[in-house]
Amino acid sequence: MHILKRLIPLCAAALVLVCASAPAAQPSGAPKLLELGAPAPDFKGLPGVDGKSYSLSDFKAPILMVVFLSNHCPFSHAAETRLLPMVREYKSKGVDVIAINPNNPDAVALQELGYSKYNDSFEEMKLYAQEAGFPFPYVYDGDTQITSAAFGVQATPQVFLFDRERKLRYVGRVDDSRFEDPKTVKVHDTRNALDELLAGKPVTVAKTNAPGCSTKWNSKKEAEVAEFNAKWESGKVELETIDADGVAALAKNPSNRFRLINVWATWCAPCVEEFPHLVDISRRLSTRKFEFITISLDDPKMSGSALKFLEKHHQRPSDALTAILKKEGRNTTNYHYTGASTDALSKALDEKWDGPLPHTVLIAPGGKIIWRQNGQITDPAKLLDLILKELGPYYTETVRGALH
């Protein structure tokens, strides 16, 4: 997972602070959801992105909202378009808010990071909170998850509202929409519960479901993540020959996917150095409308060496994309160029390419090149950010399926 290491180097001092602030014991499995009427769990010393630590006793307002959010989850991203303005509005009405990230970043599989350039580490929380403009403390519980287990948080986002006596009076979703557009909301569950609590009334609808990204418990690290990695790495890697006409057909991109096409060779040192980062991007975006296509310029007689290199890096399409490719009459995303003329290849792919390797283009649906790089990609995080901006950080309102 090379690009993750390049994106956000972990801060050792911050991790020491996190580890020192909570007991060593860790929850196993998925804990039980806190019951209505139960007292607020007495959390202490949770590290915040602002450099402070937070405890339950720090919050004195009549009503306390504890909301579980995460950096990577598109459900959280969408809900934040309503949550953040609501928090600012209710602050003066007597509502304190703290957001907790319950996730262990090591328990997040790479393909689950397709909607954000950030994983759920403490250091990445700082960057995400700053970008999002969080108007509340954002604290980390991903190492021990003691507090998250006490709440029994099921997913991000999930809201817990406590009354003046710090008894749980509402638990569930922010509202009834999973999309980012506030116009799609029909039932304002959290807002309604806040209004009733502030008025001293019982909450009419005290519990709702919590659609979102499941909590990434520590126990998941050696199970689901390892299973995903093993399944991906056991998949078959294929390499097919292609001529200039075939490349031109790929470049026209009649699909609904963005295509990142990389021209490379095993004898090209910059190609070899950048390649693992491109594979990481491909795996990260394996559930998105995205496709990573490789074109080898090795001598056609060296197809075995090229295939061996691709196998080493497990460069293959996801199972979902493989099924779609077969419907389109393709079997792979890896190609070996057989033509003698690189001029023909340049004309077919990108007329602004003068020939040096590596060369990479990002092609939008319909065939327009929206980004190109001749030479080594030295900042893969910047490329990932660009692609995510094109794909968007939210789920869309269209019918969803494979490669949504």
3 state SS for 152-207: CCCEECEEEEECCCCEEEEEECCCCCCCCCHHHCCCCHHHHHHHHHHCCCCCCCCE
Look at residue 15 in the predicted model and tell me its pLDDT.
30
Which of the 8 DSSP states describes residue 301?
G
Could you report how far apart the first and last alpha carbons of the chain are, in Å?
Answer: 23
- Residues 149, 29: contact at Cβ < 8 Å? no
pLDDT value of residue 397: 44
pLDDT computed for residue 8 by the predictor:
39
> What's the predicted TM-score (pTM) here?
0.87
8 A C-beta contact, residue 157 and residue 83: yes
**Contact yes or no for 72/214 (Cβ under 8 A):** no
pLDDT of residue 129: 98
Q: What string of pLDDT tens digits covers the 404 residues of the chain? A: 444 444 433 333 333 333 333 333 445 557 999 999 999 999 999 999 999 999 999 999 999 999 999 999 999 999 999 999 999 999 999 999 999 999 999 999 999 999 999 999 999 999 999 999 999 999 999 999 999 999 999 999 999 999 999 999 999 999 999 999 999 999 999 999 999 999 999 999 999 999 999 999 988 776 788 888 898 999 999 999 999 999 999 999 999 999 999 999 999 999 999 999 999 999 999 999 999 999 999 999 999 999 999 999 999 999 999 999 999 999 999 999 999 989 999 999 999 999 999 999 999 999 999 999 999 999 999 999 999 999 998 876 433 333 43
Beta strand pairing status for 158-162 and 168-172?
A: antiparallel
3-class DSSP assignment, residue 270: helix
Position 264: which residue type?
A: W
Write out the two tokens for 74. Answer: 């598109």
Asked if 367 and 373 touch (Cβ cutoff 8 Å), the reply is no
Give the residue from 211, 244, 207, 228 showing the smallest Cα distance to 343.
244
* CB proximity list for 6: less than 8 A, separation 6 or greater: 277, 380, 381
pLDDT at 228: 85
Query: Within the chain, how many helices (H) and strands (E) appear?
Result: 13, 15
Residue pair 316/334 in contact (Cβ under 8 Å)? The answer is yes
Q: Which domains does the chain have, with CATH numbers?
A: 2-223 (3.40.30.10), 235-389 (3.40.30.10)
Give CA–CA dist 267/284, Å, rounded: 27
- What pLDDT is attached to residue 30? 74
Residues 329 and 320: their CA atoms lie apart, in Å, by 15
Q: Residue 29's pLDDT is what?
A: 57
Q: Coil, strand, or helix at residue 97?
A: strand
Looking at residue 92, what is its pLDDT? 96
DSSP assignment, residue 25? -
Q: How far is CA 51 from CA 125, 131, 137, 205, 277, in A?
A: 12, 17, 10, 36, 32
Question: Which amino acid is residue 224, in one-letter code?
Answer: E
